C-alpha cells in the first residue's frame, strides 16, 4: 500500500494536512505511468503536470482538488497536449484550446498528467479500435478493459491515477468501469459542457468521471456540472452535487429491469447482481421487478442513431485544417484518400452505416423509425419512475472478454452495450459500481435514475458500495 492506493479524497486530506505535496503525488503516479503496465496512456505531460503541482504547492491555501493527479480521455481537447481521439486522423494534433470540463477541474486544483487510450473516435467497447495500441485489463492482461474509455478505466484500476475523465455515448464510461472493477458515471444529458469533446453522436455524448469510490466520482462531477456559454446543450445545474455519505437505503424503491436480467446475461454476472440487490434490500430498499418492453430494441435503435450522427460529425475530418493529409491533385481525391486511409475499419463502418441510414430513400425506414423507438424508450423509463426511485441491471452482460475475441464480428462487439444503451437513449444519469466477481473478474451493477437525480443516485450507490465492500485492487498489481 502506497500513495497510489489512496482514494482522491484521501489524497486531498493528506495534501491539506501537509503530509504530502502535490509534486510528490504527481511524481508517484508519473512513475507508474512511465511503466504503464496496462498501456492505458497515449500521451503524458510530465513537465506540465510537475510545473502545475509546484504552483499549487506554493499556494497559501490549496484549491478544492488540492493538486491531485487526473487522467483525461484522449477525446477531450487539451491545449498544446497532443489529442488524437485514438485516431491516425489526428496524429500529432495539438488543440488550441482546452475542453471546458478539463479547464474547470484544473481551475479547481486537479493536475492533468496525461491522455488515455480509447477506441478510435469513441467507437467501440474494448479499446481494441484504438489506432495506437491495445489497453490491457488490470485484472487479467489477456483481456480487454472495455471501451471506449478503456484507458481511463484501466488507469484508475491500476492506480496510475486516482480518477479520470471519460465520455459515454452508449456505455463508454459505465461498461469499462464494470469490466475494470471501478466506478463510472454518466450524468444527465446536458450536465457537463461538451465544448472541447471531440463529437461522436451529439444527441447522446456525455462526459463523466471514473474513480475507485462513488464519493470520488461525485467530487469530480461536482466541479464539472453547469452551463457553459460555449455549449448550448449544457444545462444550468439545479442543485449542488453532494459528496455522498448515506449508510442505508431506507424507503428507497429500486426496480430491477426484467428484460436485462434474462437471456444473454452471463449466469455469473446475474448472480453477482442478485447478491448485491439482496444487500440493498438488507439496507432498507424495496426491490421490485420492472418491465421496460422496448429496452432490448435500444441496441438496434442506437446503431442507427449513433452512426447517423457520427457520419455528420466526422465530416469535419478532411485533412485541411488539422491532422495529417494524404495529398492528391484535386480536392475531392484528397478528401477521399485522406479519409479512406486515416480512418480505421470500425469508424469507416459506422460512417458508412450512418450515411446509408440518412440517405435519400432509406431515411424514413431507419433514422426516422429509430427516433420514434427512442420516444417509446423515453416513455417507458418515465412510466417506470412513477413507481420506483432507481432502476437496476447488470452494466455489461459479461465480464471482460479476451483480447481479439470479438473483433471479427462487429455485432458481437455491439452487444456489449445492450444494458447501457437504454439510459443513454433516454438521457438519464446512470452509473456502474463493482458488485462482485465472476470467474475472478469484476462485475458491474448499473443504477439509473430520472434526469437530475444525481444526488439520490450517488447517495444510494455509496451506501450500497459500503455494504458490498468490493476490493478494487486487482490481484498481482505491484
Q: Which residues does the annotation mark as catalytic?
A: 73, 148, 172
Which segments of 41-134 does DSSP mark as H helices, in order? 46-57, 100-107
What cell numbers appear for 359 in the block? 440517405
**Residues 168 and 414 sit within 8 Å (Cβ to Cβ):** no
Position 456 contacts other proteins (CB under 8 A): no
What is the Cα–Cα distance from 89 to 317, expressed in whole angstroms?
A: 7
Question: What does DSSP assign to residue 104?
Answer: H
* Displacement of CA 173 from its chain's centroid (Å): 2
What cell numbers appear for 76 in the block? 477531450
CB of 374 to other proteins, least distance (A): 4
Position 21 contacts other proteins (CB under 8 A): no
Position 221 contacts other proteins (CB under 8 A): no
**Residues 169 and 413 sit within 8 Å (Cβ to Cβ):** no
Count of residues that bind other proteins according to CB under 8 A = 70
Residues numbered 142-161 forming contacts with other proteins, rule: CB under 8 A? none
CB of 341 to other proteins, least distance (A): 7
**Nearest in space to 173 (alpha carbons), one of 182, 366, 140:** 182
In whole angstroms, how far apart are CA 138 and each of 263, 272, 347, 442? 28, 20, 26, 11
Position 291 contacts other proteins (CB under 8 A): no
Position 372 contacts other proteins (CB under 8 A): yes
CB of 87 to other proteins, least distance (A): 14
- Longest C-alpha distance within the chain, in Å? 70
Choice between 358 and 390, CB closer to other proteins: 358
CB of 74 to other proteins, least distance (A): 16
Residue of 28, 42, 249, 353 interacting with other proteins (CB under 8 A):
353
Question: What does DSSP assign to residue 255?
Answer: E
Choice between 425 and 433, CB closer to other proteins: 425
The neighbouring-strand residues paired with 197 are 76
Residue of 132, 163, 189, 385 interacting with other proteins (CB under 8 A):
189
Position 401 contacts other proteins (CB under 8 A): no
Residue of 324, 437, 467, 477 interacting with other proteins (CB under 8 A):
324
Position 455 contacts other proteins (CB under 8 A): no
Choice between 61 and 329, CB closer to other proteins: 329
CB of 126 to other proteins, least distance (A): 17
What cell numbers appear for 382 in the block? 418515465
Position 43 contacts other proteins (CB under 8 A): no
Sheet harboring 111-116: ordered strands across? 41-44, 111-116, 69-73, 163-168, 206-211, 183-186, 430-438, 441-448, 390-394, 253-257, 286-290
Residue of 3, 13, 287, 300 interacting with other proteins (CB under 8 A):
300
Choice between 337 and 468, CB closer to other proteins: 337
Span from 122-130, 158-166, 184-192, 468-476 in contact with other proteins (CB under 8 A): 184-192
Terminus-to-terminus CA distance in the chain, angstroms?
9
Four-residue CA torsion sign, 289, 295, 299, 303: negative
Position 78 contacts other proteins (CB under 8 A): no
Neighbours of 247 (CB within 10 A): 12
**Residues 170 and 420 sit within 8 Å (Cβ to Cβ):** yes
Residue of 349, 455, 468, 477 interacting with other proteins (CB under 8 A):
349
CB of 338 to other proteins, least distance (A): 9
What is the Cα–Cα distance from 412 to 410, expressed in whole angstroms?
A: 6
What is the Cα–Cα distance from 182 to 434, expressed in whole angstroms?
A: 6
Binding interface with other proteins (CB under 8 A): 93-94, 96-97, 188-190, 203, 229, 232-233, 235, 297, 299-301, 303-304, 311, 315, 318-325, 327-337, 339-341, 343, 348-349, 351-353, 355-356, 359, 365-366, 368-376, 378, 410-411, 414, 425-427, 451
Amino acid at each position: 500500500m502506497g500513495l497510489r492506493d489512496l482514494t482522491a479524497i484521501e489524497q486531498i486530506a493528506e495534501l491539506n494536512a501537509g503530509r504530502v505535496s502535490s509534486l510528490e503525488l504527481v511524481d508517484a503516479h508519473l512513475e507508474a505511468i512511465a511503466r504503464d503496465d496496462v498501456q492505458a496512456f497515449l500521451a503524458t505531460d510530465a513537465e506540465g503536470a510537475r510545473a502545475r503541482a509546484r504552483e499549487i504547492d506554493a499556494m497559501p491555501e490549496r484549491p478544492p482538488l488540492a493538486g491531485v493527479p487526473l487522467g483525461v480521455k484522449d477525446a477531450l481537447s487539451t491545449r498544446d497536449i497532443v489529442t488524437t481521439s485514438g485516431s491516425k486522423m489526428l496524429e500529432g494534433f495539438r488543440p488550441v484550446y482546452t475542453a471546458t470540463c478539463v479547464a474547470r477541474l484544473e481551475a479547481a486544483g486537479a493536475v492533468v498528467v496525461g491522455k488515455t487510450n480509447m477506441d478510435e473516435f469513441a467507437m467501440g467497447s474494448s479499446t481494441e479500435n484504438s489506432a495506437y495500441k491495445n489497453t490491457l485489463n488490470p485484472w487479467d492482461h489477456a483481456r480487454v478493459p472495455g471501451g471506449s474509455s478503456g484507458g481511463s478505466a484501466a488507469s484508475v484500476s491500476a492506480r496510475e491515477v486516482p480518477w479520470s475523465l471519460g465520455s459515454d455515448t452508449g456505455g463508454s464510461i459505465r461498461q469499462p468501469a464494470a469490466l475494470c472493477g471501478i466506478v463510472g458515471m454518466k450524468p444527465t444529458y446536458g450536465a457537463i459542457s461538451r465544448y472541447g469533446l471531440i463529437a461522436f453522436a451529439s444527441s447522446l455524448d456525455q462526459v463523466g468521471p471514473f474513480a475507485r469510490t462513488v464519493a470520488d466520482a461525485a467530487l469530480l462531477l461536482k466541479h464539472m456540472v453547469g452551463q457553459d456559454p460555449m455549449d448550448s446543450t449544457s444545462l444550468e445545474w439545479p442543485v449542488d452535487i453532494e459528496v455522498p455519505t448515506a449508510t442505508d437505503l431506507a424507503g428507497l424503491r429500486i426496480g430491477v429491469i426484467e428484460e436485462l436480467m434474462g437471456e444473454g446475461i452471463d449466469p455469473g454476472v446475474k448472480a453477482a447482481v442478485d447478491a448485491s440487490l439482496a444487500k440493498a434490500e438488507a439496507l432498507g430498499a424495496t426491490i421490485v421487478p420492472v418491465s421496460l418492453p422496448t429496452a432490448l430494441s435500444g441496441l438496434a435503435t442506437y446503431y442507427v442513431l449513433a452512426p447517423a450522427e457520427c457520419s455528420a460529425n466526422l465530416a469535419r475530418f478532411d485533412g485541411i485544417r488539422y491532422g495529417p493529409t494524404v495529398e492528391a491533385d484535386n480536392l475531392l481525391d484528397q478528401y477521399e484518400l485522406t479519409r479512406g486511409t486515416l480512418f480505421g475499419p470500425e469508424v469507416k463502418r459506422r460512417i458508412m452505416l450512418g450515411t446509408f441510414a440518412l440517405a435519400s430513400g432509406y431515411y424514413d425506414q431507419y433514422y426516422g423509425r429509430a427516433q420514434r423507438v427512442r420516444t417509446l424508450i423515453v416513455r417507458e423509463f418515465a412510466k417506470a419512475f412513477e413507481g420506483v426511485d432507481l432502476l437496476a441491471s447488470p452494466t455489461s452482460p459479461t465480464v471482460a472478454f479476451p483480447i481479439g475475441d470479438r473483433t471479427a464480428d462487429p455485432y458481437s462487439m455491439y452487444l456489449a452495450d445492450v444494458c447501457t444503451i437504454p439510459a443513454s437513449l433516454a438521457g438519464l444519469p446512470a452509473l456502474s459500481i463493482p458488485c462482485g466477481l465472476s470467474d475472478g473478474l469484476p462485475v458491474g451493477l448499473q443504477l439509473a435514475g430520472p434526469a437530475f437525480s444525481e444526488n439520490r443516485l450517488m447517495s444510494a450507490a455509496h451506501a450500497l458500495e459500503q455494504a458490498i465492500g468490493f476490493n478494487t485492487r486487482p490481484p498481482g498489481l505491484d
